[in-house]
Structure 1
Amino acid sequence: MKKGLLLLLCLLITPITQAGTYRWVDENGQTHFGDRPPVNAASDEVELKAPAPSSDADARARKERMNEFLEQTEQERAERNEAKAKQEAKAAKHEALCESLRARLKHLKSVSRMYRLNKEGERVFVDDEENERIRQEFRAKVQSECGA
């Protein structure tokens, strides 16, 4: 059974593999090529030759250059993505810092009196002038770090 199927397959493939290439010139003088000869024109069978081995070497060299280019492009893309991720992380960290500073500034505005701890750990309240100076310094720090 298998031999019969193989023989039938070989008989079907033979006409396909022996199909030639034909060349003909139409009534307008244009040359055409095809795998079947035309019905209404004279044609010549053309023998196609395999490309020379040197062109295979050229193709391999082109493929190698293309692969090198693709690897280099991929490496550059990865470097750009890494730099972008670092920049985004830095921006997010800066924004978190600014958010924290703004929250502390808002808290300073709501506090009526500030104090410092002395060497014994006791609270020593500062006067109004010192309160205002501390607020001004902190406001300037927030302004310089975070802008408006």
Structure 2
Amino acid sequence: MLILLIPLSANAGVYKWVDANGQTHFGDRPPAKAASSEVKVHSAPASVDAGARERHQKMTDFLDQQQEEREARQAANAKAEEKAEKQAELCRKLRARLKFLASVSTFYNINDQGERIYVNEAENTRIREDFREKVRSTCGND
């Protein structure tokens, strides 16, 4: 029974009718309460002219270019985010080291015999200030 209905649905017509207000309507099924007539619809051949193909190609090229640019921006943003995260981690470590240096009372060097040679107070101050400047230049004043 269903096989017999398939050809009918493939050849479904277009119906035209006029409602009580005088407006014309079209549909794929005839209305129940109005007189209708079946309209023959002639479809244009499916050929595409050269201009349409060219417009389609230009649109496709434009969309491809937009996609490439979007992907390039996303890659650049991801790279910038990664760089910012690395910079933030470096600054966190430098600030922790600066805090540690503030707690150290005096610095020393180790000579060739493995002995500690303590530096004077001026050298202690210079070491701390040099490191403070390194943190400022690398991380800013925040």
Range class of TM-score, shorter chain: 0.7 to 0.9
Deviation of 1:76 after TM superposition, in Å, equals: 2.1
Aligned residues: 141
Match of residue 136 from structure 2: 143
Match of residue 125 from structure 2: 132
Percent of aligned pairs with the same amino acid: 53
Matched, 1:30 2:23: yes
Q: Specify which structure has the higher proportion of helix.
A: 1
State which drifts further: 87-96 or 117-126.
117-126
**Unaligned ranges ≥5, structure 2:** none
Structure-1 separation of matches of 2:115 and 2:106: 15
| CA deviation map 1:45-82 (0-9, x unaligned) | 21101124345877766654554344333222211221
RMSD over aligned CA atoms reads: 3.0
Match of residue 16 from structure 1: 9
**TM-score under structure 1 length normalisation:** 0.72
Match of residue 103 from structure 2: 110
Structure-1 separation of matches of 2:132 and 2:11: 90
Deviation of 1:127 after TM superposition, in Å, equals: 0.7
Mapping of residues 70-81 of structure 1, within 5 Å: 70-81=63-74
Deviation of 1:135 after TM superposition, in Å, equals: 1.0
Q: 1:97 to 1:121 in 2, by over 3 A?
A: same
Match of residue 87 from structure 1: 80
Structure-2 separation of matches of 1:11 and 1:56: 38
Structure-2 separation of matches of 1:139 and 1:30: 84
